[in-house]
Each structure stands twice: as C-alpha cells, then as structure tokens.
Structure 1
Amino acid sequence: MFEVLVFVYENYWRGDACPEPQQLGRKLTAVGFEADEIKEALHWLDGLHLASHSTDLARATALPPAASMTLPATDSLRLYSVAEQDHLGAECLGFVSFLETAGILAPVMREIVLDRAMAANGNPVTLDDLKIIILMVYWSFGEEPDALVLDELCDDASDRLAH
C-alpha cells in the first residue's frame, strides 16, 4: 500500500489535484500496481480525505462549544492508548512527539496522523511508513512541510554517518 501512496504523493501535487477514486484506481492499475494494494490504498486515502475534510469544515464553521471540544487544543497533553502504543511502537511515537514539540505537527494534524497510522498495516508500523503517512497528511491539507522537515521525512536515516 505504501508504494501506491508514494506514487500518488509524487504524481499529484495536492490532495485536491488527485482524481476521483475510480479514475485513480484505473491509473494505478495501468502503472502496474496490484489490485489488492490499490484497493487498500484507495480505502486508506478515502479515510484521509474524510478526516482532513472534516477538520477543514470544523475550522471554517462556527462550532458550538460542545462540538469544538473534539478538536485538540494546542496546549493539550496527548496520552496514547495501549492499542496505539502497540501498533505504533516507541520509535514512531517518539518521532511524532519530536515533530509536535518542534512545532512542525499541529495537534489536529497529529490526530489525523495517528488515525491513519492506526488504519495502516504493520505491527508495529515502521518509521519509514509513518513518515509517508505524515507526508500524506500534509498533502491532504495542500501544504508542504518546510525544506528541512521534508528532508527529514524523505531521507533514509540508515545512510547517515554519526559524528
């Protein structure tokens, strides 16, 4: 599935530039992806679209006080469930915490990243797969992370030389 997501990210500048699922599915089939991978990726992308669209809608409308409580506050503390800890693992949760502490990942985006990571296969999800998920969340909002963040998300850390 992640190879399909990388292809979509690289070939469609923003989430709103991506074709409808049926047309995208035909394009992915023509490129040579397996039907199961395409189906899984389209389902995952549908969840991403729903999450980002719901967030945009909540931001654009005046929500009643009870509804606005569903959006995390910027100063809130996020506690991870046992299922999240098991599925994401310490490395991924540490990376999410790093991005959030650095001010790179807003709480609303963090929640979408966690939701989409929980919807992904892998137990635990690998850090490379999490980085793709983070890129896709930025992509769905039509935003591109700054150059240093993009480098961190796209760079293969195994090639780095420690000093």
Structure 2
Amino acid sequence: MFDILMYLFENYVHSEMEMMVDEDELTQELTRAGFHQAEILKAFSWLERLAELQESDKPYLRNHDQHSFRIFTDQEMTKLDVQCRGFLLFLEQIQVLSVATREMVIDRVMELDEQELGLDDLKWVILMVLFNAPGNESAYAQMEDLIFEQPEGMLHS
C-alpha cells in the first residue's frame, strides 16, 4: 500500500499535475502499473481517512499546553524506531509539525501495513500529511527542503 501512496504522491501531488482524476481511471492506471486491487483500495481508504482527519475535532488533534510532551504507545514504538521518533520531535521543535499535524502523521503511520517504518518512509508520510493539511504550506516547503536539500561542498570519506 505504501508504494501506491508514493506513486500517487510523486505522479500527481509532488509533480503538481492536475489531481482531478476519476477514481475508476486512477484504479485502472494503478492496476496497469502493477498494483493489486486490494492494495489500491487500502491506499484510497488511507487517503480518505487523512482527509477526514483535517475536519476532525478529536481531542488529540487540538493544540496542547506548550509544556506537554508525547508518550508513544508500545505499538507506535514498534513501528517508529528511535530515529523516527527523534525526527518527529525535531520537526515539532523547529515548528514544521504542530501537535495536530504530528498526531495526524502518527495516525497515518499506524494505518500502514508495514511492521516498521524507516526514516525515509516517515518523511514521505509527513510530506503527504502537510500537503493535505490546510494552512501548512510553509511547513510543507520546509519539509521539502529538509528532504531534498543537497549538502554543499565536498563530502569526506
């Protein structure tokens, strides 16, 4: 399912192509690209749930006291290793993620089929969440810079 989400993001969202594609057409395109119907439906459901989170008034999506901190559940710690959790904290500290967008990211990560998620995959989930969260254009641009920024100068071996 994650591969389908990546395909959609890279080919439609990130490339800034017109996203007004019929779901049946998109399903056919994904099938031609080699994806299985069940996985396509899961990916669509994942995206629909992301859209629903934008309109949610769930208590965990409201801003919390600035002195509060996030404690991860055992399942979250299994799926998100120390590096991933540290990256989420870093993004929150530099204000790329708010409490609400952090929780949306964690919610979407937990719905992925993968048992564990690597840092690179987490970065793509964060981009997808920020792209779909109204008012987060600046955070999305910062996240893009963090992902695609090439180091300057020579690298030492």
**1:73 maps to which residue?**
64
Where in structure 2 are the equivalents of 1:57-68 lying within 5 Å?
58=57
Inter-partner Cα distance in structure 1 for 2:126 and 2:156 = 25
AA matched with 1:8: L
Aligned to 1:3: 3
Distance 1:4 1:69 in 2: 28
Structure 2 counterpart of 1:96, from 88, 94, 110: 88
**1:74/1:105 Cα in 2 relative to 1: closer, same or farther (>3 Å)?**
farther
Aligned to 1:128: 120
Helix, strand or coil: the match of 1:97?
helix
Q: Which residue of 2 aligns with 1:149?
A: 143
Higher helix share: 1
- Percent identity over the alignment is 32
Pairs aligned (count): 148
Equivalent residues in 2 for 1:9-24, closer than 5 Å: 9-13=9-13, 17=19, 19=21, 21-24=23-26
SS in 1 for 2:55: helix
Deviates more, 1:37-46 or 1:129-138: 37-46
* Higher RCO (CA < 8 A, seq sep 6+): 1
TM-score normalised according to structure 2 size: 0.75
RMSD: 3.1
Return 5+ residue gaps in structure 1 as ranges: 59-66
**Match for residue 40 of structure 1?**
42
- Name which of 101, 106, 119 aligns with 2:111: 119
Unaligned runs of 5+ in 2: none
1:25·1:42 contact (CA, 8 Å) conserved in 2? no
